[in-house]
């Protein structure tokens, strides 16, 4: 099984798209990530996880994602509105990653999915990932439309709709659509300082 350590930026990069702020999520964000997923309406939750899942399964999923994957959150104030995830390893190839997205139901179709996929593509290229895989239910028109915007051709694979985004091409398309705005990068996970602060040198 292939395992890759993902590079999560440590230097602060401030991102403001209107009032929306992006930052990387880490293990300390488990509670807000859980709240965010519970905020999805029934159909959106089902689309996100391809069905319903138990609370115990969800807890394990959240912990694993925040530990191992790159997770980027979009916030309005303290409210986590949307999350994009970049997962590697398992049966994926060395330069492949699988993506997942969730936008709270009242904030759909306002461009948050687009904002996050652009940020995810940037993270992918920084991690030497050339293919971003999008997998969803065939009924999920929103996810298929989002993936197609970035060059994916969605095709049936079994009972799923699967698309592959070429990361370089996706970034090119992102740049073409937003000629005057910088690509969003997410702020890093807040670093926990030792009690008494950092040692002086
Ligand atoms: C899929 C999802 C992430 C899209 O996020 P979003 O913030 O609504 O996406 P955007 O507003 O950036 O829209 C992206 C494109 O898709 C199109 N789109 C969005 N919803 C659509 C829908 N229901 N039907 C058709 N097209 C749709 C938009 O028009 C836009 O295209 P445009 O820029 O050419 O106008 C969001 O709907 C979601 O979280 N759904 C529930 C969870 C889920 O299904 N996750 C995916 C599986 S991991």
Cα separation values, 192 from 67, 71, 106, 201, Å: 15, 18, 33, 19
- CB within 6 Å of ligand 1 — which residues? 44, 47-48, 100-103, 108-114, 136, 140-143, 145-146, 149
Model confidence pLDDT, tens digit, residues 131-180: 999 999 999 999 999 999 999 999 999 999 999 999 999 999 998 866 44
166: number of CA atoms within 13 Å, CB side?
6
List the 155-157 sheet strands across, edge first: 16-17, 20-24, 70-76, 79-87, 96-103, 131-136, 160-166, 155-157
Ligand 1 atom closest to Cα of 117? 12
The pLDDT of residue 49 is above 90: yes
Closest CA to 6 of 25, 30, 29: 25
Cα(192) to centroid(ligand 1), Å: 35
Q: How many of the other CB atoms lie within 10 Å of CB of 199?
A: 6
Helices first, then strands: H and E counts in the chain: 6, 8
Out of 69, 146, 174, 184, give the residue to mutate to test ligand 1, the one with the largest number of ligand atoms within 8 Å of its CB: 146
Contacts (Cβ under 8 Å, ≥6 apart) of 170: 117, 121, 132, 150, 151
Cα(153) to centroid(ligand 1), Å: 16
Give a three-class secondary structure readout of 165-176: EEHHHHHHHHHH
Model confidence pLDDT, tens digit, residues 117-131: 999 999 999 999 999
For the full predicted model, state whether its pTM sits above 0.85. Answer: yes
Closest CA to 44 of 52, 34, 56, 54: 52
Q: Is 43 helix (H, G, I), strand (E, B) or coil?
A: helix
Give 47's pLDDT tier (boundaries 50, 70, 90).
very high
Domains of the chain with CATH codes = 16-177 (3.40.630.30)
Model confidence pLDDT, tens digit, residues 68-108: 999 999 999 999 999 999 999 999 999 999 999 999 999 99
Out of 108, 121, 177, give the residue to mutate to test ligand 1, the one with the largest number of ligand atoms within 8 Å of its CB: 108
For position 1, what pLDDT does the model report? 56
Say which range, 110-114, 177-181, 197-201, has the weakest mean pLDDT: 197-201
Which pair of tokens denotes residue 175? 């740049």
C-alpha span between 130 and 5 (Å, rounded): 16
Residue pointed to by tokens 């959150």: 73
The pLDDT of residue 17 is above 70: no
Contacts (Cβ under 8 Å, ≥6 apart) of 30: 62, 63, 66
C-alpha span between 101 and 132 (Å, rounded): 13
Ligand 1 atom closest to Cα of 104? 39
> Could you give the angle at which helices 141-149 and 112-126 cross, rounded to 10 degrees?
50
Out of 101, 142, 144, 174, give the residue to mutate to test ligand 1, the one with the largest number of ligand atoms within 8 Å of its CB: 142
Residue pointed to by tokens 């319903």: 52
């Amino acid at each position: 099984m292939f395992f890759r350590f993902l590079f999560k930026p440590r230097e602060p990069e401030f991102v403001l798209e209107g009032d929306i702020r992006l930052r990387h999520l880490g293990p300390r964000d488990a509670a807000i990530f859980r709240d965010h997923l519970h905020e999805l309406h029934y159909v959106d939750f089902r689309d996100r996880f391809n069905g319903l899942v138990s609370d115990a399964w969800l807890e394990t999923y959240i912990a694993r994602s925040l530990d191992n994957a790159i997770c980027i959150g979009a916030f309005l104030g303290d409210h986590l509105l949307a999350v994009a995830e970049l997962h590697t390893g398992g049966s994926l190839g060395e330069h492949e990653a699988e993506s997942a997205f969730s936008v709270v139901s009242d904030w759909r179709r306002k461009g948050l999915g687009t904002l996050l996929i652009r940020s995810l593509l940037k993270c992918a290229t920084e991690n030497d990932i050339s293919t971003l895989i999008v997998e969803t239910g065939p009924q999920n028109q929103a996810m298929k439309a989002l993936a197609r915007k970035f060059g994916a051709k969605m095709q049936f694979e079994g009972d799923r709709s699967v698309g592959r985004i070429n990361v370089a091409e996706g970034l090119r398309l992102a740049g073409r659509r937003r000629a005057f705005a910088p690509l969003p990068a997410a702020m890093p996970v807040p670093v926990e300082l030792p009690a008494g602060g950092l040692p002086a040198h």
